[in-house]
Structure 1
Amino acid sequence: MSERRRGAALENALLDAAWEELAATGYARFTMDAVVKRAGTSPPVLYRRWPDRDALVRATLVHILHKNVLAVPDTGSLREDVLTLMREINATRVQLVTVMSVYLADYHQATGTSPRELLDPSETGRKQAIDTIYHRAVDRGEVKAEHLTERIKTLPFDMLRHEFLTTFAAVPDQVLEEIVDTLFLPLVR
């Protein structure tokens, strides 16, 4: 007999099952019933936490992004910190980014949201990680804080995501370096 899940353990199991279902079927075929079956639970257990599939999808994505937050590099240089983080994303997150982007097109169309609204970086821990890199660079005197708009801070990562979505593959290292050296660093220096 298996032990009954409660609290955070139950919620994590439900969200993991929802992610597995979403990755397997996409948003168009994603149902609360399928998540109930995959999690081995009952509908009331799921509906007590999330009233509908859109709320469950949003919670699932935040959960998965929290589970997949990368360590913040501290190499002593803004260039190397950004490249190190981009290389880690490139090596480990191509599938995650692709699945989330491609499978969720139906979600955005159905709910009238944009990917930026669904995946708020402050909710997922990504903004804090990126801000840490930039705060260190400002403290070291590598960049001026006034040059670091939100758009510029996310630029190298937005360009990496664009590469993923246009190729559905990891990005060659020379492209990562080109993004950082040719496009990003001239904007912050």
Structure 2
Amino acid sequence: MALNDGRTTRRRGAELEAAILDAAWHQLTDRGYEGFTFEAVAERAGTSRPVLYRRWATRAELLQAAIRHHGAAEDTTAPDTGSVRSDLLTVLRRSNRQRSNFLVLLSASLGDYYAETGSTPSEVRELLLGRSRTAVDDILDRGVERGEIDPARLTPLVRAVPYSLYRHEVMMTLRAVPDETLEAIVDEVFLPLVAAAQPYL
């Protein structure tokens, strides 16, 4: 509820649902699945448990909705700085700011959720990102057009290398990745895998 000229204004519809899902996301990232209860989310959102139960039957459904809601608000556009190296570092640094806490959550705090639902970290990650084309796909395709990247080397597994290594670093350390490590992922591992051969002068 919010005060407006001394009167109480009730949130309804999409405004109320967005407030609940924002509260649910913060509760999840602060307390993990163990502390992710209807009571805690309702209290954080300034509403009641029956309001939540009318929308989501279980806390697993509420978790899924909160992750989708948060993912939809993220900036997922592909930068175009003029080079694959700079574009990749831009999106990795953005993910480091936006998603490192979520990746820690995937690794350390959702064991009960996986056991309860039979879900996997990959499926939860898909809730956040969806199945749409990624910024990295756009970056790599532009790199092919500019002649920076050899398209024959871009197998699906190779395309996944930057983020696979980034996620590994987060999940092994349970913290954001140092910038020098992000640069090493791009400069020492990925670009040598995909760089187009340079013509002899």
Aligned match of 1:160 in 163, 166, 173?
Answer: 166
AA of the residue aligned to 1:43: R
Tell me if structure 2 keeps the 8 A contact 1:15–1:59: yes
Aligned partner of residue 120 in structure 1, secondary structure: helix
Alpha-carbon distance in structure 2 between the residues aligned to 1:63 and 1:132: 23
- Deviation, 1:125, is 7.6
AA of the residue aligned to 1:83: L
Aligned match of 1:26 in 20, 25, 32?
Answer: 32
State the partner residue of 2:102.
96
Alpha-carbon distance in structure 1 between the residues aligned to 2:173 and 2:31: 21
Tell me if structure 2 keeps the 8 A contact 1:73–1:85: yes
Aligned match of 1:110 in 88, 106, 116?
Answer: 116
Comparing 41-50 and 120-129, the one that deviates more: 120-129
- Deviation, 1:97, is 2.6
Alpha-carbon spacing, 1:109–1:148, altered in 2? closer, same or farther (3 Å): farther
User: Please, which runs of 5 or more residues in structure 1 have no aligned partner?
Assistant: none
Alpha-carbon distance in structure 1 between the residues aligned to 2:162 and 2:127: 15
Tell me if structure 1 keeps the 8 A contact 2:72–2:128: no
AA of the residue aligned to 1:15: L
Larger radius of gyration: 2
* Aligned-CA RMSD value: 2.5
* TM-score, normalised relative to structure 1: 0.84
Deviations 1:74-117 (A, max 9, x none): 11111211112212333454333323432223212322211111
Alpha-carbon distance in structure 2 between the residues aligned to 1:111 and 1:122: 17
Q: Is 1:133 matched up with 2:151?
A: no
Alpha-carbon distance in structure 2 between the residues aligned to 1:146 and 1:132: 16
Name the count of aligned residue pairs: 189
- Deviation, 1:71, is 4.5
State the partner residue of 1:85.
91
Comparing 39-48 and 121-130, the one that deviates more: 121-130
> Of Structure 1 and Structure 2, which has the larger fraction of its residues in helix?
1
Q: Percent identity?
A: 45
Tell me if structure 1 keeps the 8 A contact 2:67–2:128: no
* TM-score, normalised relative to structure 2: 0.79
Alpha-carbon spacing, 1:122–1:143, altered in 2? closer, same or farther (3 Å): farther
Alpha-carbon spacing, 1:112–1:125, altered in 2? closer, same or farther (3 Å): closer
